[in-house]
Amino acid sequence: AFVDIGVKQDGLLHRSQIPRYADPTVGDVLSVEILSVDSERGRISLGWVGDR
């Protein structure tokens, strides 16, 4: 899932990072953490922290 984290580039929350009990939909507010930033490829990887 692509997540708007408030900067120019959206972050990617891979489905393996989303718990089975969660079913986020467009417009949901989630708590995520930045796992890595690849500035050369313009990618931001996110991890699940929980619902907000």
Compute the distance between CA of residue 5 and CA of residue 29 in angstroms, rounded to an integer.
10
> Count of domains in the chain?
1
Burial environment of residue 44 by CB neighbours within 10 A (0 to 12, 13 to 18, 19 or more): buried
Q: What is the pLDDT along the chain (52 residues), one digit of tens a residue?
A: 999 999 999 999 999 999 888 888 999 998 999 999 999 999 999 999 976 5
Q: Which domain holds residue 18?
A: 2-51
